[in-house]
Amino acid sequence: MVTIMEIEKFRSKCWLYLDNGEKYCLTNREMLDSGLTTGSCMEDADFINMIRLYQYPRALNQAIAMLARRPCSKKEIDLKLKMNHYLQDVIELVLYKLEKENLINDLEFCDQWIHYRISQKNGPEKIRLELKQKGIDDITIEQKMTEIYTEDCEDNAFLLAKKAWNHIRADENRFRSRQKVIASLIRKGYNWDQAEKACNLAETECKKTAR
């Protein structure tokens, strides 16, 4: 048996503190529907099943709302639902449902994210780091980067370097100017070799234009 020792309300949520030290979260509406109050007692399994029944549709709706705004990785949805205090098995059920319905697919997400970030002229190192943070495994990242991030995409580095050179003062020290351009490319996710190559090409181009 479990007993509700305390109910703490905060905005639209209610925290239920049990005599076994555990706590659970329901909405105000769910609390009203459940009829639970301080001192209510239930069998452990019945209590957990009740929490699952309330949380699952809410968690699923939240996950679908996230996907309606933009594509998400499995890890992003998992973390968001954990932040909102859903039971772990509820989260796993939601993720299973989304995968079964092909609403989340980390391979497709990886494709979309790489294309999106390339369109914003971000370099491969930054894209790799972002995908790792979103829970995509290294093998998938390298597979998709090889497929999508072709040499043509490195033209973006040249365009960024050229733009950076155009903001350099004519009387500025050349070494310092190159440092600035290369640093700006590294911040965008290009490695040193890519940044230096793009810097050299852009510098040559800018010199030709200035003649």
CATH top class, domain 2-100: mainly alpha
Q: Is 152 or 76 the better-scoring residue by pLDDT?
A: 76
Structure confidence by residue, pLDDT tens digits, 37-68: 899 899 999 999 999 999 999 999 999 999 99
Is the model's pLDDT at 118 over the cut of 70? yes
Mean pLDDT over residues 168-184, rounded?
A: 84
The per-residue pLDDT for 209 is: 66
Tell me which fold the domain 106-149 belongs to.
Arc Repressor Mutant, subunit A (1.10.10)
Identity (one letter) of the amino acid at 207? K
Is the model's pLDDT at 153 over the cut of 90? no
**8 Å CB contact between 68 and 79:** no
The per-residue pLDDT for 62 is: 96
Domains 2-100 and 106-149 share a fold: yes
Which residues are within 8 A (CB) of 184 and not within 5 positions of it... i.e. 6 or more apart? 160, 161, 164
The per-residue pLDDT for 166 is: 83
**8 Å CB contact between 206 and 198:** no
Is the model's pLDDT at 193 over the cut of 80? yes
Structure confidence by residue, pLDDT tens digits, 73-115: 999 999 999 999 999 999 999 999 999 999 999 999 999 999 9
Q: List the domain boundaries for the chain.
A: 2-100, 106-149, 153-210
Identity (one letter) of the amino acid at 96? Y
Q: How many angstroms separate the CA atoms of 134 and 125, rounded?
A: 14
The per-residue pLDDT for 210 is: 57
- Paired residues of 3 in beta bridges: 41
> Is 209 exposed, middle or buried, given 0-12, 13-18 or 19+ CB atoms closer than 10 A?
exposed
User: How would you list the strands of the sheet with 2-10, edge to edge?
Assistant: 23-27, 13-18, 2-10, 41-42
Give the CA diameter of the chain: 86
Query: Among residues of the chain, what percentage have pLDDT more than 70?
Result: 97
Confidence of residue 157 (pLDDT cuts 50, 70, 90): very high
Is the model's pLDDT at 152 over the cut of 80? no
Mean pLDDT over residues 136-145, rounded?
A: 93
Mean pLDDT over residues 140-168, rounded?
A: 87
Is the model's pLDDT at 204 over the cut of 70? yes
Q: Which pTM does this prediction carry?
A: 0.82
